[in-house]
Structure 1
Amino acid sequence: MSKIGFVGAGRMGAPMVRRLVEAGHTVTVLGRTQEKRTAAQELGAIAVSEPADVAADADVVAVCVFTDDQVRNMCLDDGLLAAMVPGATLVIHTTGSPATARDIAARGEEYGVAVVDAPISGGPHDIAEGTVTLFVGGAAAAVDAVRPVLGAYGDPVLHVGPLGAGQSVKLVNNTVFAAQIGLLREAVRLGGALGVAEPDLLTALTHGSSASRVLTMIAPRGSVGTFLDMAGAFVGKDVEVVRTIAREAGTGLGVLEDAIAELALTRDENC
């Protein structure tokens, strides 16, 4: 069993911590407030208040915060990376720019610390069941080293390429996801013009050739708008990132952008 440090034991991170503890790992969680430290202890973890204490003696440190800036601040400015022991591995679960993972990995080389990016596809219920999908980028040796840890909550754990590839796959995935929501919004508009109520249309389409995973997620809620109220925050954050890295790569989103353009995507906290 491994010693695990964990940063970001919130909506997504808490079930990860619970499953790590249940798998027999020793887990140390960062809690800036007493309330968060108490919550971490209730999960069976050791609670500490400083990043350096999370990293001390840890074989693996996982970061599951919201934005690139938070990842950079925690790993570089707050000293998490520098406090890790040589031979340890940093796992970045936060969805963000591949460049962030590469920049942190470059600094990690100074400390003998490997870095992998492992963004998540799924929700807290998937993590709790141990079936969340992880898109993992990094050197084969680093990925193999953390696979037993990631396997406590991830299945499948997909090694999709070198460092940063996990982020790229997740961002493409969420761009297609957002585009499919946009297409469904247009389908609802068309259905309404033809006299079909939105809940009836969504339910019926789940039984037709247009059925999709996205549709089966939206239909039980009765409307695309209701689903966006719940999911728009984290989808919107990722769409902003993919637009930026696409521009940097000299390309764009093409017809995916057309499908996404009319969605009202807001921000909230989630990794």
Structure 2
Amino acid sequence: MIGVGSALISLFLALVCYSLTLTAKRADENLLMICEQNQKIEEEKGKQEMESKRDILRVIEKEIKKGSAPVAFAGLGFSEECYHLVDSQAKMNQLLDYFFRNEEYAALADRQVKSNIYAEMGKRLNFRSARSDRDRKNMEVAAKRWIKKKHPTFDGDVYVENIRCFLDISQEELEKRKCTVNEQDITALIFSQKHLEALYLQCLMHRRNAMQEVLELKGLSETCNRIYKLQDVDVLFQCLLMDQMDWEEGKLYVQFSTVYLLLSLRNK
């Protein structure tokens, strides 16, 4: 009887173990299937977002041809004054205050500040204009939180790059959009949100491809050229400032700024 009982117990344990093994195997298969499905969903979202961005560019290109969009992207301009070291947290905070037109730079936040496009850093790059003064301040808080997560030392590992984004506008358009404000003749340019997003996208894409057209910037240090070539860098912040347009040799331009973290210096 004891032998038979032991055999039955052994058989029972074997069946339980086999059942648990099958259950674990099914759980692994289900987990793998869920992971694959999630990956496909994320890839599909990425494709949809990319297609959406392409759609924006196509729409704006059509609008420019029709003449309803005031300006067209005309290229990026680099110079020796593009790169500046950010050597402390205080300077980083001051720089963000300037970009977002907050604190001591609040006086710069006129009606045109809504045309500025700010990157929202995270798992996926998102960019938009601020909806209100409060939204602009909240976006700055979020930017500071993201930068803090990256643990910059500010010991030579953070630089800001300010490049000019040139915009093409015809003389006919300039004449058409002239008006008088406070007895001064000005040119009024009105941008749609899609137009602003398209200009930001064009700046972003051309910035990434810049080193293919010009291999190296003459007169700049090795570190600055490393940033220019996007070698071992991470983006901490980025924005397109449309509210302070200026002219250079008859060309209209706005500021496209990026704050970089130099990974190569941190790994030494």
TM-score (norm 2): 0.22
TM-score (norm 1): 0.22
Which has the larger strand fraction? Answer: 2
User: Between Structure 1 and Structure 2, whose CA radius of gyration is higher?
Assistant: 2
Q: Which has the higher contact order (CA 8 A, sep 6+)?
A: 2
